[in-house]
Structure 1
Amino acid sequence: MHSRPLLYVCARPQQDAAAGEYASFRAATGLDEHTLHRHDLVRDPLPDDALERYAGFMTGGSPFNVTDPEPSEAQVRLEHDLERIAAAAAAGTTAALFTCYGIGVVSRMLGGAVTQEYAEGTGAVSITLTADGAADPVFGVLPPRFDAFTAHKEGTSALPPGAVLLAENPACPVQGYRVGDRLYTTQFHPELAPADFVARMRIYRDAGYFDPSEFEPLSVAVLAAPVTQPARLLRAFASRCRAA
């Protein structure tokens, strides 16, 4: 019997960024287009049967923010679909991993708090596992301290009730958490290799994540960053989904 595929759900309006992110998730998980499908939530609502069709879900980032004062109609609609996935995962009827923008969607939906107080710049940061993270079957494949890429304008300032903190750092205390045993979040980007991150920086050069005049030195620093571990988290998550 073949296990059901997983689904990468995209929240990026920029087609080149969306394609690059999907390729990064595939490379990080080791899955191909037959085992990791792709769905563009910006342009198409989540299919009604998605929760039955797929063994699990992975969401990427977005230039959207849950703290945006006047979200577009497209943003409101896709956040509703992301919340549908998150609610099912929190209830244990599917598995899901939400990254960057996605952690904000989950935190808000489940009663946590999201503010612009914990924004992080563009580049590599050091992240530490909590004791619960080290014991977790997904996060626990990572070393106790590891480097990962971040670039975000908001962060979770208070965990949702019942959430278990798995990863942290001083600049953004909530770097990852779990709800139940099937809903996972990361503030950092576990899918990105250095060259992929530079490609994404080029697309969002004028989006307010960094001073455009700093693109070249930032790119040099990113390419030299020792970011090798986070993809292990994605492989562990995908393996658990496909084994279930």
Structure 2
Amino acid sequence: MRLLVVEGNVRAARERHRATYGLTPSESYAAVLKSLAPEAICDIALPADEGANLPERTGLEGYDGVVLTGSGLNIWKAEPETMRQVELAREVYRSGTPFFGSCWGLQVATVAAGGSVRANPRGREVGIARDIALTPEGRDHPLYRGKAPVFTSPCVHGDEVETLPEGAIVLAANPVSDVQAVEIPYEGGRFWGIQYHPEFSLNELSVIMRRYKPTLLAEGFFRDAGTADQWLADLEALVADPRRKDISWRYGIGPDILDARIRLKEIENFIALRVRPVQSERGRA
């Protein structure tokens, strides 16, 4: 199995994540994919970097799946490092290769297919996305096979889908974002995407939230630095001992997040139901 992980971040953001977590976001995502498909070989593309050597359609056709990571960029700014990713996404669609993305990945795939993204007027959704509810279409969709109809997930995003591309199907929503998951057909390809981050373990999420502490304070998520520090300390204590019911109960952090088999179900389904069938077809060809 050959998978391409497309990193959404610029170099400085990648290295900041490596410095605090030990891996770049794309390296971390690749490790998650290999935990679900140990035989997978994961290549990494860096389209945010000027001059990056990016695969064209024929090169993309050699992969069994393409996955887009999150990013700290804002696609509505239409900066060069963003638009290179949009163009790459269009080539992925045209290649027909199974296509998946988290958060920024959903936003890039949306814009590539003709939709638009904006800063969310309801504000940032950060830490834990709550009350993600499957739509009627989502309840019948293979992306959510084995998933509860309402769940929570790690998340970090300030932007949201504003207009959907033609033919897109919303699969999940919550009070903060009307598009928490979507299927998008475009130019012969098909994308499954989610606005949240199931690929983040609680450990990775806690590391990200510590970096976000100034933003969380500035945007009023915490009354003061002491309250923020206590929350971060509690997250880290729960990472150290997931049996800490006093912490998990207090913050509503349940098996949706603590149990990787539940948290990663969407990615597992993408591999099982989109990637493996394509891999098998190519193996018989």
Match of 1:231 in 2: 264
* Aligned with 2:129 (options 125, 131, 138): 125
* Aligned with 1:67 (options 53, 76, 84): 76
Distance apart, 1:33 and its partner CA:
7.8
CA distance in 1, matches of 2:82, 2:139: 34
Listed one character per residue, the Cα deviations across residues 116-160 of structure 1 (whole Å, up to 9, x for unaligned) are: 125433211221111111111122331111111121111013322
Match of 2:8 in 1: 11
Match of 2:241 in 1: none
* Aligned with 2:89 (options 74, 79, 82): 82
* Aligned with 2:98 (options 95, 104, 109): 95
CA distance in 2, matches of 1:205, 1:135: 38
Q: Which runs of 5+ in 2 are unaligned?
A: 219-224, 239-247, 279-285
Distance apart, 1:34 and its partner CA:
4.3
Q: Which runs of 5+ in 1 are unaligned?
A: none
The higher-RCO structure (CA 8 Å, 6+ apart) is 1
TM-score by length of 2: 0.72
CA distance in 2, matches of 1:221, 1:121: 17
Listed one character per residue, the Cα deviations across residues 87-137 of structure 1 (whole Å, up to 9, x for unaligned) are: 327xxx111112111222222232323221254332112211111111111
Q: SS at the partner of 1:53? A: coil
Paired amino acid for 1:211: L
Map 1:200-211 to 2 at 5 A: 200-205=208-213, 208=215, 210-211=216-217
Q: Does 2:69 correspond to 1:36?
A: no
Distance apart, 1:80 and its partner CA:
2.0
CA distance in 1, matches of 2:70, 2:190: 20
Map 1:123-202 to 2 at 5 A: 123-126=127-130, 127-180=132-185, 182-202=190-210
Distance apart, 1:59 and its partner CA:
0.7
Contact 2:3–2:40 (Cα < 8 Å) also in 1: no
RMSD (CA atoms): 2.6
Query: How has the CA–CA distance of structure 1 residues 120 and 108 changed in structure 2, closer, same or farther, with 3 Å as cutoff?
Result: same
Aligned residue pairs total 233
Higher helix share: 2
Match of 1:53 in 2: 62
TM-score by length of 1: 0.83
Query: How has the CA–CA distance of structure 1 residues 132 and 59 changed in structure 2, closer, same or farther, with 3 Å as cutoff?
Result: same
